[in-house]
Amino acid sequence: MKKVMLEGNFAAAEAMRLARIGVVSAYPITPQSPIAEVLSEYTGDGRLDAKYIRVESEHTAMSVAIGAQLTGVRTGTATSSVGLALMFEMLGVAAGLRLPIVMPVVNRALVSPWSLWCDHQDSMAARDTGWMQLYAEDCQDVLDLCLIAYRAAENGDVLVPTMVCMDGFFLSHMSQAVYVPSQQDVDDFLPPYQAKNLKLDIADPMFVNNLIPPTEFMEMRYQQHTGFSNALPVLNTAMKEFETQFGRSHSPIEPYCCDDAEAILISLGSMSGSVKEMVDQYRAQGKKVGNLKIVSFRPFPEEDLVAAIPRGARVGVLDRSMSMGAPAGPVCNDVRSAISNQGLNVRIQGFVVGLGGRDVRPVAITSAFDRLLAGQYDKDVQWLDMSDNAMTLRQYREAI
């Protein structure tokens, strides 16, 4: 296994190449564009034996992937932000047809206003479309989680498409030394793709995706739900198998210094690195804090997550998006429901951080930890590291 300097986008493209995707359809969008570009380069110069379909939109990118995967080919596409929003209709189709498409999503804010930069609103808005969602902390994660995703998603008991989410720019454009496995090792880990259940095949004709009466629709949705129920153990196994094959361990949640923690911040993606750095600094001062990173947001590892929180610990969630009109951000809402579903009575403080490319700076993390350690709780979600002029910014209305 060689170590190569790779940006997150290229780590994703390497994983797709190693997975031998046979049809590529991708539409460029900042900060995902390098994936669309490098995959066309790979197919052009023969490093990847695939058909590259230069599509005119993300809606078509996903439609092409769905059509091709139905014929029994592993396909590849990737997107970001408004591109993911434009794909929305087709996300549900891929999921409902049980096509285990693996798609890197380079997280970027949604409009309006325009932002080119990172937050999780795009993938969070798509969280109920029936896709698994794995969040990478660094560029190695991007490559590893993509390979793990193919293995888990294509399992016959799962058949659920998967987004591998990486923070725009923070990961997509950050160079890091990444272990790139050999083709042989990846071939051993990922058998050639085979269409299971639904397929378009002249030798075995079937009509796929027609209108379904109310007497059958719920049952078919339940099959999908069952695929998701199976996904968590299968994902765990795939991660173990990955470790055996490649020597790096992954897990649906990753607790850091949680065992004896009095205050824990739950996070997703690249900001987890900063939270862990702050945990080290607090620990050096004798303050018992910890970080709980969620890698798999869908399926949500409810039991493991709750088990990782010691009794009596105060818990906050750093959301990099907001569920407007809901009590808190989407991750916090899910953590609260997991806690109550597991029969615990713990108040979880919601925080919103790092929207539209804002760094999750130490000041945001310390203010969150300090609130928790001081036993402060506010039922309202707290927006951290905001300017004082929040309510006067761009307010051009005449004063009455």
Of 53 and 143, CB closest to another protein: 53
Among 71, 183, 229, 341, binds another protein (CB under 8 A): 71
C-alpha–C-alpha distance, residues 42 and 9, integer Å: 14
Binding range to another protein, per CB under 8 A, among 55-63, 103-111, 228-236, 349-357: 55-63
- Give residue 57's identity as a one-letter amino acid code: S
In the complex, minimum distance from the CB of residue 70 to another protein, in angstroms, rounded to a whole number: 6
Among 53, 232, 265, 332, binds another protein (CB under 8 A): 53
Strand partners, 106: 166
Residue 272 binds another protein (CB under 8 A): no
Residue 307 binds another protein (CB under 8 A): no
Q: What is the token pair recorded at 209? A: 């995706």
The interface mask with another protein, positions 17-36, x = CB under 8 A, is -----xx-x-----------
Residue 66 binds another protein (CB under 8 A): yes
In the complex, minimum distance from the CB of residue 68 to another protein, in angstroms, rounded to a whole number: 3
Of 209 and 337, CB closest to another protein: 209
The answer to whether 139 and 11 have CB atoms below 8 angstroms apart is yes
In the complex, minimum distance from the CB of residue 40 to another protein, in angstroms, rounded to a whole number: 13
Residue 57 binds another protein (CB under 8 A): yes
The answer to whether 261 and 283 have CB atoms below 8 angstroms apart is no
Residue 211 binds another protein (CB under 8 A): yes
Q: What single-letter DSSP state applies at residue 342?
A: T
Residue 251 binds another protein (CB under 8 A): no
C-alpha–C-alpha distance, residues 297 and 293, integer Å: 10
Residue 343 binds another protein (CB under 8 A): no
Whether the CA torsion 247, 79, 324, 218 is positive or negative: it is negative
Q: CB neighbours of 287 closer than 8 A, spacing ≥ 6?
A: 262, 263, 369, 373
Q: Calculate the CA dihedral of residues 336, 339, 345, 346 and round it to 10 degrees.
A: -60
Among 28, 67, 310, 356, binds another protein (CB under 8 A): 67
Residue 73 binds another protein (CB under 8 A): yes
In the complex, minimum distance from the CB of residue 151 to another protein, in angstroms, rounded to a whole number: 21
C-alpha–C-alpha distance, residues 252 and 231, integer Å: 11
Binding range to another protein, per CB under 8 A, among 72-80, 125-133, 278-286, 340-348: 72-80
Residue 51 binds another protein (CB under 8 A): yes
Residue 207 binds another protein (CB under 8 A): yes
DSSP SS3 for 244: helix
C-alpha–C-alpha distance, residues 293 and 289, integer Å: 13
Q: CB neighbours of 281 closer than 8 A, spacing ≥ 6?
A: none
C-alpha–C-alpha distance, residues 66 and 101, integer Å: 8
Number of residues written out for the chain? 400
Total binding residues for another protein by CB under 8 A? 42
Binding range to another protein, per CB under 8 A, among 50-58, 178-186, 259-267, 326-334: 50-58
C-alpha–C-alpha distance, residues 239 and 244, integer Å: 9
Residue 220 binds another protein (CB under 8 A): no
Residue 321 binds another protein (CB under 8 A): no
Residues that bind another protein (CB under 8 A): 22-23, 25, 50-51, 53-57, 59-60, 63-73, 75, 89-90, 93, 200-202, 204-213, 215-216
